[in-house]
Amino acid sequence: MNGPKGDIKLEHNPDKYNEQVSIKFVTLVSIVAALGGVLFGFDTAVVSGAIGFMEHKFQLNQVEVGWAVSCLIIGCIIGAAMSGLLSDRFGRKKVLIAAAALFIIGSLGSAIPATFSGYIIARIIGGIGIGITSTLCPLYNAEIAPAKYRGRLVALNQLAIVTGIFLTYFINLGISSYGDDAWDISTAWRWMFAVGSIPGFLFLVLLLFVPESPRWLIKQGRPAEALPILLRIHGEALAKQEVLDIKESFKQETGSIRQLFKPGLRVALIVGVGLAVLQQVTGINAVMYYAPEIFKATGAGTNASLIQTILVGFINFLFTILALWLIDKVGRKVLLLIGTSSMALCLLVIGIAFQTGHAAGPWVLIFILLYVASFAISLGPVVWVIISEIFPNRIRGKATAIAAMALWAADYVVSQSFPPLLNSAGPAITFWIFGIMSLFTFFFTWRIVPETKGKSLEEIESLWASKQT
């Protein structure tokens, strides 16, 4: 029944045939771009395994330990800030290639230094690469994807991030159990960082084979180069219409940052930057960076807390897959509303468990896992999707960069303030603060975040125009 007959039917239905070709092509290209997410995830997780050994090796005090963890984020802020200007000028593809190179230099550089400052410099260089890829990978995917599948394809980037985090926990475990304590302190942490250069190199090579973003090409006045790429994505009739729509959208925009502060687009800026900051101040990286410490505070031993950390990585991975499946079906907004209300509830319970002295049982673990699952179906993927699709074509690069920069800056503030807050205010208050922020995110989403499911980027753009009056 299937086989040749089915194939012949496809030949008679050129539209369907085109659609099948496009999805294969776009998915492949998106997977390559999403690989940048693996590097992001790798860098998020690698230091948690290395830091204990580096502390001994370089005789670090508590401030230096904090700096060893967070200096990467300083690089990320710089990278995100540069990504907009550079990618608007030189194109998404070339800047991504440069970011991959920076990441490789950062990974190898973090592995070989004889001094602590050598490590810091290398880590900041790698961070610049991550700041750039964190902004440009979702943006590139959004610019290349057909509207119908855009949510899923951009969210692939988040799947890559959580895959990177999850794999890195195992790699850390594997490397540290290879030798004795002395070897761990002298060498294991070096291998942990060096391993990152493998996905970095793969990313760099594969990037050479992906096309430039057609939207960027049209913006540069090179529609002839954009058309064949759009043809492969959409098929003939739609591709020509896309070129016209994209050209038309540029006529409506000046491309200057000032445009973002005018009524209408100002709302887009508030949504983008607001969601970026809220993704961080609801506490996810307190769990990602400090999970073993939190579990130790509930009385778990070192081994148990390590296993629980891996469980966190697994749940994050599993529920991100669920989000990928849901994001173009139920939409971004519904996922955000369900996820943030459930996060608020989980954080409330975790706080109560600490406050009433019930932290030693399984409750904290169960509700942290539920909290991570709720993040993974909502703020995790949806925020990166929304910030890469809500801004107009001409200023998308710069505007997405502003939102990503705000996200990394908020990450820095949370990761720096979490340990002292935990010490001074205690775990209950700390988790309740994150809970209140989650509740706020729920209302923020409900009131001002628009649904962008199924709309083309140009349709989303016209949505802001209607808010101008």
Site residues (CB under 6 A) for ligand BGC?
44, 158, 161-162, 279, 284-285, 288, 316, 380, 384, 411
Q: Least distance in Å: CB of 383 to ligand BGC?
A: 6
CB of residue 279 vs ligand BGC: minimum separation in angstroms?
A: 6
Residues 6 or more apart in contact with residue 443 via CB below 8 angstroms: none
Query: Which residue's CB is nearer to ligand BGC, number 154 or number 188?
Result: 154
Q: Which two tokens stand for residue 34?
A: 């999403």
Helix ranges (DSSP H) in 92-222:
92-111, 116-144, 150-176, 181-183, 189-195, 197-207, 214-219
User: Please, what is the Cα angle at 140 between 458 and 143, to 5 degrees?
Assistant: 20
- Considering the complex, state which of residue 320 and residue 341 has its C-beta at the smaller distance from ligand BGC: 320
> Which residue is it, tokens 């209302």?
443
Least distance (Å) from ligand BGC to the CB of residue 425?
23
Got the DSSP string for 169-205?
HHHHHHHHTTS-HHHIIIIIHHHHHHHTHHHHHHHHH
* Residue of 157, 162, 165, 159 whose CA lies nearest to 140: 157
Q: Least distance in Å: CB of 116 to ligand BGC?
A: 25
With respect to ligand BGC, which residue has the nearer C-beta, 289 or 464? 289
What is the closest distance, in whole angstroms, from the C-beta atom of residue 221 to ligand BGC in the complex? Answer: 34
Nearest approach, Cβ of 152 to ligand BGC (angstroms)? Answer: 16
- Taking the complex as a whole, the smallest distance from the CB of residue 44 to ligand BGC amounts, in Å, to 5
Q: Which is nearer to ligand BGC, 158 or 388 (CB)?
A: 158
Of 135 and 176, the one with the shorter C-beta distance to ligand BGC is 135
In this complex, which beta carbon is closest to ligand BGC, that of residue 162 or of residue 300? 162
Q: Report the residue number, 43 or 184, with the smaller CB distance to ligand BGC.
A: 43
- Distance (Å, rounded) from C-alpha 363 to C-alpha 249? 52
* Residues in Cβ contact with 437 at an 8 Å cutoff, skipping those fewer than 6 apart: 278, 281, 282, 283
- Rg of the chain, C-alpha, whole Å: 23
Distance CA 412, CA 402 (A): 15
172 versus 285: smaller Cβ distance to ligand BGC: 285
Residue reference for tokens 């939207």: 215
In 10 A of CB 287, how many CB atoms?
20
Q: How far is the CB of 137 from ligand BGC (least distance, A)?
A: 12
